């Protein structure tokens, strides 16, 4: 069937082009990160650095504050995960199981908060933080990140717990468990993969967050905050920037690759 074959060919081409469009820049930044400073500033340039070098990346890692801010980013992300899951999971559980007045209102509220991202929160919080002594504090940043991540965490945990039939916990209760025991021994283990994926999603969110981190920190910067400052004010050299970009995406990419299946189901996409 000519038409069929032609159609498949066209689709395949479009698909390949798009995939290439997505992958190509990532390839480029990787190449840039492995190019020496001299090569980055030279003209004319080669696309593939020969020889590839670790100098740029090392220079970046050793630059002032980078290692520390990476650690900070990790700490903040970890805090955020703990807070977001600890606060969001019970809410998700409650939403999935009980019918109570105000349920729809709460739901809508959660959706609404998705619409107000970092910019609006960060600035007034910065002022408040100074008053509360949370300014320039990693915990403070983690709190804001949690506020940003909480809507997602709640939505995700709700759908995860909806996927665990209430009857399982009821069965456990008829077999002698208290409510809590039933939750810990039955609901939680089944929900764990979904919760883990939610945690990882929160990690990436926190790791990447720029605006609030930049506003709320001075000395204890996270990596994105450090980078944007370097770019906006300190006029960092090219190799620094590219290595920074590369370094920022590598962990996120690895993580997303690992949980790619769950990520899809989180957003409501069924894998077939």
Q: Does 155 bind other proteins (CB under 8 A)?
A: no
Interatomic CA distance for residues 52 and 38, integer angstroms: 12
Q: Does 163 bind other proteins (CB under 8 A)?
A: no
DSSP state, 53? -
Provide the minimum distance between the beta carbon of 231 and other proteins in the complex, in angstroms, as a whole number. 5
Provide the minimum distance between the beta carbon of 199 and other proteins in the complex, in angstroms, as a whole number. 15
Q: Does 195 bind other proteins (CB under 8 A)?
A: no
Given the complex with other proteins, which of 81 and 227 has the nearer CB atom?
Answer: 227
Among 6, 9, 19, 234, interactor with other proteins by CB under 8 A: 19
Q: Does 82 bind other proteins (CB under 8 A)?
A: no
Cis-peptide, bond into residue 44, ω within 30° of zero: yes
Among 139, 178, 184, 234, interactor with other proteins by CB under 8 A: 178
Given the complex with other proteins, which of 49 and 71 has the nearer CB atom?
Answer: 49
Provide the minimum distance between the beta carbon of 63 and other proteins in the complex, in angstroms, as a whole number. 15
**Contacting residues for 193 by C-beta, under 8 A, at least 6 apart:** 262
Site for other proteins in 199-258 (CB under 8 A): 204, 207-211, 214-215, 224, 227-228, 231-233, 238, 241-242, 244-245, 248-249, 252-253, 255-257
**Contacting residues for 59 by C-beta, under 8 A, at least 6 apart:** 37, 239, 240, 243
CA distances from 181 to 165, 186, 249 (A): 16, 8, 41
Among 114, 139, 184, 234, interactor with other proteins by CB under 8 A: 114
The alpha carbon dihedral of 3, 7, 8, 13 has a sign of positive
Interatomic CA distance for residues 137 and 139, integer angstroms: 5
**Contacting residues for 84 by C-beta, under 8 A, at least 6 apart:** 145, 146, 149, 150, 153, 199, 202
Judged by CB under 8 A, the stretch of 37-45, 49-57, 58-66, 72-80 that binds other proteins is: 37-45
Among 1, 4, 5, 21, interactor with other proteins by CB under 8 A: 21
DSSP state, 217? -
Among 81, 138, 186, 197, interactor with other proteins by CB under 8 A: 186
């Amino acid at each position: 069937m000519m038409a069929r074959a032609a159609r498949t060919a066209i689709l395949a081409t479009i698909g390949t082009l798009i995939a290439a469009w997505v992958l190509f820049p990532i390839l480029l930044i990787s190449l840039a990160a492995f190019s020496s400073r001299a090569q980055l500033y030279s003209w004319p340039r080669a696309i593939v650095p020969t020889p590839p070098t670790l100098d740029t990346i090392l220079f970046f890692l050793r630059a002032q504050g980078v290692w520390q801010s990476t650690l900070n980013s990790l700490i903040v992300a970890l805090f955020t995960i703990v807070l977001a899951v600890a606060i969001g999971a019970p809410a998700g559980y409650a939403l999935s199981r009980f019918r109570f007045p105000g349920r729809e209102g709460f739901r809508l509220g959660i959706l609404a908060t998705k619409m107000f991202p970092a910019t609006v929160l960060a600035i007034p919080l910065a002022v408040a933080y100074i008053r509360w002594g949370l300014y320039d504090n990693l915990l403070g940043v983690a709190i804001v990140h949690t506020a940003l991540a909480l809507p997602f965490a709640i939505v995700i945990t709700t759908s995860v717990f909806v996927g665990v039939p209430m009857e399982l916990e009821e069965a456990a209760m008829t077999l002698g468990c208290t409510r809590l025991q039933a939750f810990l021994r039955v609901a939680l283990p089944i929900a764990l993969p979904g919760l883990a994926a939610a945690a990882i999603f929160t990690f990436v969110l926190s790791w990447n967050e720029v605006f609030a981190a930049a506003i709320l920190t001075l000395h204890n910067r996270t990596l994105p905050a450090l980078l944007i400052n370097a770019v906006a004010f300190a006029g960092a050299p090219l190799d620094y920037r590219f290595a920074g970009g590369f370094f920022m995406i590598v962990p996120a990419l690895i993580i997303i690759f690992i949980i790619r299946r769950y990520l899809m189901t989180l957003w409501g996409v069924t894998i077939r």
